[in-house]
Structure 1
Amino acid sequence: MIVKEHGRTLSHDEWNDFIEALLEAHHVVITTHQNSDGDGLGSQVALAAVLTTLGKQVSLVNPTEVPSNYLFFTERFRIDVFDDRSEESIQEIALADLVVLLDANLPERMGALWKHVLAGREMGFLKVICLDHHLEPEDFADLMICETYASSTGELVYDLVRAMEKHLGKQLLDEQVAEGLYTAIMTDTGSFRFPKTSPYVYSIAGELVRAGADPNGIYDRVYNSLNPRSLKLLGSALNEIRFLDEENISWLFISQDMLKRTQSKLFDTDIIIKYLLSVPSVKIAVLMVEMLDGRTKASFRSRGEIPVNEIAGMYGGGGHRNAAGCVLAYSPEKAIQVVLKDIQAFLHRTTL
């Protein structure tokens, strides 16, 4: 069931079914999307802290590994990478009675994990609930709250925690929860500068700092913790940036050869896309990365009212108006040809 958009906040009654699902569960698996980010991971850790306080058995299981700049979260909670060849990984799902998906609204974003979650749901021992803020959700869960007006999933988890406090009559927002939620909101708002950073978001940030979140420390760990391989990749990549359409479009392709040469991993590419949009004339930026299986991962960014989620949607992806992505079942050569042609046509249509 998808709960329709309700505006800036949800009432306690609108949270009620979600809260009841969490309180009725005994063993909860919390997961997020492939190639996890600060919003997904911070929301995971915050919700895990709350449920642990309430005496629940909680496991954090993700489809892909934690990026190096978010490894500080693993000091708080163990975060496992799901391996569908591992009996231990499969058993972790089989023992759960509730799976919570955060920061994604499409089942395929769970990667190999989804097949086993779906099997448990179909057998009747596993319930699936989802909390997200992206556009165009798929109705696959037993309960889904997809609030697209929210700046981040972290904002929604904050509201959920406050609703749970009211429901239970006890305080749940502590330093550990605050650290996760501040990280989630900070990263998904571009350090509190993206369009959905409302006055309400700033008020949440203040409450999180009051509860113990350290803004300087969190920012430093997230953004000032590059490793040598990331810097080498960045140096190689910046030299390969190309422009089209009178510098209205910037694009970059990162090959497996470049990743191997710099000993980098897929998540090391995440810091690069912001440089593609740093030229004032650029309206759309696209970063394409060759994956190990031969497919191509594409990340899109835009300025103003240009909805790049529609471009990503052409290839089965999605996201936000100004930030979206997809994986194309194309070779790099074909992906570059097709995507650049489509972006040029899309830009001309949307800016006429």
Structure 2
Amino acid sequence: MIQQEYGRRLGREEWQSFIDILLSAEHIVLTTHVNSDGDGLGSEVALSEVLRSLGKTVSIINPTEVPPNYRFLSSTVDIEVFDAHSEECIQDIALADLVVLLDANLRDRMGGIWQHVDFGREIGKLKVLCLDHHLGPEDFADLMICEPYASSTGELVYDLVVALQEHAGRHLLSSSVATGLYVAIMTDTGSFRFPKTTPYVYAVAGELVAAGADPNDIYDQVYNSLNLSALKLLGAALSGIRLLEHNRVSWLVITQDMLRMTGSKLFDTDLIIRYLLSIPSVRIAVLMVEMHDGRTKVSFRSRGEIYVNEIAAVFGGGGHKNAAGCLLEFSPDKAGKVVLDDVRAYLDQLMKTTAI
């Protein structure tokens, strides 16, 4: 394990209460947020492997399906997709004595899973842990560790594994655990480019590679495994990019018609927002996706000291300083007007005090 310290991290003592609850449970359910990403999925897979090696019964139940480019992670573990009519998922939650939410700090991010978790808590036997690194946590768990300093939830899970190894007195960082954690950290740091990629993160990545994570294969699986429908959607979408506020804001709407015409799915929209922010003059990028029920999923990205999580919070969402989102209860047409008006107002206010 890494001997040299690089800034802030949680030590054994700070993890002890979390570990005590983990190890007192027998049947554990791990879950993450809707529209799961590399950080949530990688963290789940890694932690499930560790807990199983410690003799725990572990199920992974997610509110939405695993995107195709992350399905290689499920080669060693089974990831169930929750459905209100899935007796197997509901039974697993009912039998659990602990649910661990990873990479989210709002109960609504669990989708339809939350009502079953909440019922289990009401009858008295189910506990909830939350491990996350986003801003603006909601107080709903029996114990929450939410550390915004961390580059990713995967970084925190790595520190948890180190603490568990000290507690158990044996090695727990297997090749499959290392792979899950490398995926988590790589994706949430933008392939080690984002501001929270500290020297400690690089040191952790090196430790994971030494433990068996293959950087070349992982990068290829995650970023070079796009299907034809995703590429068709990308082609259809890019021509619709619009610029506002002297080219400081880029925005784009993805409609259900576009998804149907290209044969693509919601998770295929995730790669598009990076193109919105690739224009040098753009400071805030806004991607609006029409959901099948008429609501609008909004994703924000920004550069520098622009806190788009504050914009998302106005609409009941949240996230990171430079990457956030929300779900609006109305159509993209209305969402476009309401959200862009708020973005303009935010930029106007910011420009009075800051050069952007």
Specify if TM > 0.5.
Answer: yes
Identify the residue that residue 187 of structure 2 maps to in structure 1: 187
- Structural mapping, 1:1-352, within 5 Å: 8-352=8-352
Displacement of 1:242 in angstroms is 0.6
**Does structure 1 conserve the Cα–Cα contact (< 8 Å) formed by 2:61 and 2:80?**
yes
Determine helix, strand or coil for the equivalent of 1:326.
strand
- Cα displacement string for residues 227-248 of structure 1 (whole angstroms, at most 9, x for unaligned residues): 0000000000001111001110
Identify the residue that residue 4 of structure 2 maps to in structure 1: none
The farther-off stretch of 329-338 and 281-290 is 329-338
Determine helix, strand or coil for the equivalent of 2:99.
strand
Displacement of 1:88 in angstroms is 2.0
- Cα displacement string for residues 112-136 of structure 1 (whole angstroms, at most 9, x for unaligned residues): 0000000001111111000000001
d(CA) in 1 for partners of 2:256, 2:59? 33
The farther-off stretch of 221-230 and 329-338 is 329-338
Identity of aligned residues (%): 69
Displacement of 1:263 in angstroms is 0.7
**Does structure 1 conserve the Cα–Cα contact (< 8 Å) formed by 2:229 and 2:264?**
yes
Displacement of 1:330 in angstroms is 1.4
Letter in 1 for 2:26: H
**Does structure 1 conserve the Cα–Cα contact (< 8 Å) formed by 2:28 and 2:99?**
yes
RMSD across aligned C-alpha pairs, in angstroms?
A: 0.7
d(CA) in 2 for partners of 1:136, 1:119? 25
d(CA) in 2 for partners of 1:269, 1:8? 34
- Cα displacement string for residues 247-297 of structure 1 (whole angstroms, at most 9, x for unaligned residues): 100000000000000011100000000000001000000000000111000
Determine helix, strand or coil for the equivalent of 1:131.
strand
Identify the residue that residue 4 of structure 1 maps to in structure 2: none
Q: Which runs of 5+ in 1 are unaligned?
A: 1-6
- Cα displacement string for residues 9-66 of structure 1 (whole angstroms, at most 9, x for unaligned residues): 1121110011111111111100000000000000000000001111111100000000
**Does structure 1 conserve the Cα–Cα contact (< 8 Å) formed by 2:34 and 2:110?**
yes
- Provide the aligned length of Structure 1 versus Structure 2: 346
**Does structure 1 conserve the Cα–Cα contact (< 8 Å) formed by 2:130 and 2:145?**
yes
Determine helix, strand or coil for the equivalent of 1:286.
strand
d(CA) in 2 for partners of 1:187, 1:87? 33
d(CA) in 1 for partners of 2:89, 2:212? 34
d(CA) in 1 for partners of 2:8, 2:121? 31
d(CA) in 1 for partners of 2:323, 2:86? 34
Determine helix, strand or coil for the equivalent of 2:219.
helix
d(CA) in 1 for partners of 2:76, 2:229? 26
**Does structure 1 conserve the Cα–Cα contact (< 8 Å) formed by 2:131 and 2:153?**
yes
d(CA) in 1 for partners of 2:166, 2:243? 53
Determine helix, strand or coil for the equivalent of 2:326.
strand
- Cα displacement string for residues 92-145 of structure 1 (whole angstroms, at most 9, x for unaligned residues): 100111100000000000000000000001111111000000001001000000
Letter in 1 for 2:119: A
d(CA) in 2 for partners of 1:174, 1:89? 28
d(CA) in 2 for partners of 1:333, 1:347? 21
Determine helix, strand or coil for the equivalent of 1:58.
strand
Letter in 2 for 1:255: T
d(CA) in 1 for partners of 2:248, 2:297? 21
Q: Which runs of 5+ in 2 are unaligned?
A: 1-6
Displacement of 1:339 in angstroms is 0.8
d(CA) in 2 for partners of 1:345, 1:309? 15
Determine helix, strand or coil for the equivalent of 2:77.
coil
Q: Which runs of at least 4 in structure 1 moved beyond 6 Å after TM superposition? A: none
